Structure 1
Amino acid sequence: MPRAVRFDEYGDIDVLEVRDVPRPEPAADEVLVRVRAAGINPGESAIRIGALHERWPATFPSGQGSDLAGVVEEVGSAVRTWSVGDEVIGWVDTRASHAELVAVPVGNLVPRDPAVPWQVGGALFVAGTTAHANVRAVGAGPGDTIVVAGAAGGVGSLTAQLLRRAGATIIGLASEPNHTWLHEHSVVPVTYGDGVLDRIRAAAPEGVDAFVDTFGDGYVDLALELGVAKDRINTIIDFAGAARTGVKTEGMHGSANVDVLAELAKLVAAGDLDVPIAASYPLVEVRTAYRDLMRRHTRGKIVLVP
């Protein structure tokens, strides 16, 4: 039997198990994908502990995971666009990609270019489309100076690169071990922590035009203290701060489609978008993978490899 991640109640990482499960049966408009890589995301931790119960309640036993890359193993009766053996990148909305086999709607897939590594393809959808949405949310363009908090993280690293492609000058808040990576990607690194306001002002003497917060921890207030207009501040994590101040909370949903995913995959294949992979873990080490994620100091994405 194929294996998949399951949990039976809200809780910490110790509720996660890898179990034998029935082989998924694809519906008429789905394909069955043998997963080669599946990214993990902070939102999945929030769902697992019950923090998002009012918005996205879990039905137990629950699976986990959205991102995936793999090989088509079976096609539904109405499928004409994919064939067995096709290599694909995509996502599911059923919390099911942390598994060896998953049924995926045909409209959630794009072809995998061989130039896109499996682990990168399997980590691309959530972080990539969220980064794409960040660029749109702050109206990035040539001449802008934009701060990205958490600029070396899974979403932040892609956001910074896409903002640069839009013509903006980017100041990336990150720990010193990530400064070289930021320099290499034409991002001005600034160390977070005490004194960060002064360090940002020194790096941007003419002011900051927009601010993207991928980390939380008071950055909404920092952006306002820098004089950034509320409609040019976007946080994907500090919803309480946004409710209090009126800044934006535009997540991935406006960009969560195959057109954007295909665009991102083409950038990766062309060498124009770097998706750093912080670590890869076998499916059976899912608890270790999430423990690593919870440290919040990884550069780029963490991936499960079934």
Structure 2
Amino acid sequence: MPKAYVFTRYGGPETEALVESDRPVPGPGQLLVAVRAAGVNPVDWKLRTGYRRPGASEPDFPAVFGSEAAGVVEEVGAGVTGFAVGDEVFGNPVTGGYAEYTLLPVEVAAHKPAGLSFTDAAALPVAAATAYDGVRQLALPAGATLLITGAGGGVGVAAAQIALAEGVRVVGVASEGKKEFVAALGAVHVPSGPDWADRVRAAAPDGVDAVFDLVGGETLETAAGLLTDRSKLISGADRGTVARLGGAPVARARTAAVLDEVARLVTDGTLRPFVTAAFPLDRAGEALRTVEDGHAQGKIVIEVTA
């Protein structure tokens, strides 16, 4: 039977397990995909703890981890057009990506360009797409200064590259250990930790024009204090706090068109997914710990053997 990495109830890592599961059956408008790679994101472990996205229903346990996947179409559901068995695709699965098989709804699935690896494609549907949506939402002109908190993670790395390509100056807050990584993107690195806001002021004496927060909580509160226009404050990490501060959550499009666009940015050299580590499915727990512990640089991906 196919294998999948799941959590059996809400809680910590002790709820996780690699299990055998039934192969999903595609419904109308869905693709059955043999997974070749799955992206790992902070939301994965947050969902395990009981975090619920707004409007999300209670999961059926055991619940398969993962909201990014790339692979090969094995079967198409009723009413599907534009996709066929054998197509290489990537997108946002509805049955979890940490698995040998998953289901992709066609509205959040895209054809993988031939020049894009499965591993890199699996890093795009959440991280790069969130970054793309956020940069579009801010709509900064060339020459503006964008502050990104959590700049060393998957979304931050993608947002920095997209903004820099549009002529925006980027100041990225990340740990000291990620200094060279953030600087290599072309961003100005500011070490996180006590008094980081003072270091931002020193790095951007004319102020920052927008904040793309990827940390939330106290960090978001502090970042908001660096802005005069709170309409240029967005967060991909803390919907409640950013709304209270006069900003907005990242407005996710969640469309195939956005997936096509971020794939194009990779193939034309504008965007590098920066997959810094890949783990096999039977080590999915290690992959998740790398992200949950906050030590990941760039993207972590799980590779599934064909």
Q: Given the two structures, how large is their TM-score scaled by the length of structure 1?
A: 0.92
Helix, strand or coil: the match of 1:241? helix
Relative to structure 1, is the Cα distance of residues 180 and 47 closer, same or farther in structure 2, using a 3 angstrom cutoff?
same
Residue 281 of structure 1 corresponds to which residue in structure 2? 279
- Kindly tell me the number of residue pairs found equivalent between the two proteins: 303
Per-residue deviation, 1:96? 1.9
Q: Which of 294, 298, 301 is residue 296 of structure 2 equivalent to?
A: 298
Residues 211 and 228 of structure 1 are in contact (CA less than 8 Å); yes or no, is this contact kept in structure 2? Answer: no
**CA RMSD, aligned part only?**
1.9
Relative to structure 1, is the Cα distance of residues 191 and 54 closer, same or farther in structure 2, using a 3 angstrom cutoff?
closer
Within-5 A mapping of 1:51-62:
51-52=51-52, 55-56=55-56, 57-62=58-63
Which one-letter code corresponds to 1:81 in the other structure? G
Relative to structure 1, is the Cα distance of residues 110 and 206 closer, same or farther in structure 2, using a 3 angstrom cutoff?
same
Worse-matched range after superposition: 35-44 or 217-226? 217-226
Instruction: List per-residue Cα deviations over 1:161-220 (Å, max 9, x = no partner).
Output: 111123211111122332223333221111111232222112111111111110124222
Helix, strand or coil: the match of 1:33? strand
* Cα distance in 2 between the residues matched to 1:54 and 1:250: 13
Instruction: List per-residue Cα deviations over 1:108-151 (Å, max 9, x = no partner).
Output: 32221232121110121011121112213333221211110111
Per-residue deviation, 1:75? 2.6
Residue 163 of structure 1 corresponds to which residue in structure 2? 163
Residue 245 of structure 1 corresponds to which residue in structure 2? 245
Per-residue deviation, 1:55? 4.8
Residues 39 and 302 of structure 1 are in contact (CA less than 8 Å); yes or no, is this contact kept in structure 2? Answer: yes
Helix, strand or coil: the match of 1:264? helix
Residues 210 and 228 of structure 1 are in contact (CA less than 8 Å); yes or no, is this contact kept in structure 2? Answer: no
| 5+ residue gaps, structure 1 | none
Residue 199 of structure 1 corresponds to which residue in structure 2? 199
* Cα distance in 2 between the residues matched to 1:2 and 1:206: 56
* Cα distance in 2 between the residues matched to 1:243 and 1:76: 39
Which one-letter code corresponds to 1:67 in the other structure? E
Taking every aligned residue pair, what percent have the same amino acid on both sides? Answer: 35
Residue 214 of structure 1 corresponds to which residue in structure 2? 214
Instruction: List per-residue Cα deviations over 1:14-33 (Å, max 9, x = no partner).
Output: 21112111122222432221
Mapped pair 1:76 → 2:77: yes
Per-residue deviation, 1:244? 3.7
* Cα distance in 2 between the residues matched to 1:53 and 1:66: 12
Residue 14 of structure 2 corresponds to which residue in structure 1? 14
Which one-letter code corresponds to 1:82 in the other structure? F
Per-residue deviation, 1:54? 7.4
Residue 68 of structure 2 corresponds to which residue in structure 1? 67
Residues 210 and 227 of structure 2 are in contact (CA less than 8 Å); yes or no, is this contact kept in structure 1? Answer: no
Per-residue deviation, 1:77? 4.7
Worse-matched range after superposition: 135-144 or 157-166? 135-144
* Cα distance in 2 between the residues matched to 1:245 and 1:23: 45
Within-5 A mapping of 1:122-133:
122-133=122-133
* Cα distance in 1 between the residues matched to 2:214 and 2:137: 13
Instruction: List per-residue Cα deviations over 1:39-84 (Å, max 9, x = no partner).
Output: 1211121111113287532222322222111111223354342222
Residue 91 of structure 1 corresponds to which residue in structure 2? 92
Helix, strand or coil: the match of 1:221? helix
Per-residue deviation, 1:294? 1.0
Which one-letter code corresponds to 1:282 in the other structure? P
Residue 235 of structure 2 corresponds to which residue in structure 1? 235
Helix, strand or coil: the match of 2:63? coil
* Cα distance in 1 between the residues matched to 2:97 and 2:137: 28
Residue 104 of structure 1 corresponds to which residue in structure 2? 104
Relative to structure 1, is the Cα distance of residues 293 and 257 closer, same or farther in structure 2, using a 3 angstrom cutoff?
same
Within-5 A mapping of 1:1-40:
1-40=1-40
Helix, strand or coil: the match of 1:218? helix
* Cα distance in 1 between the residues matched to 2:170 and 2:54: 35
* Cα distance in 2 between the residues matched to 1:173 and 1:278: 19
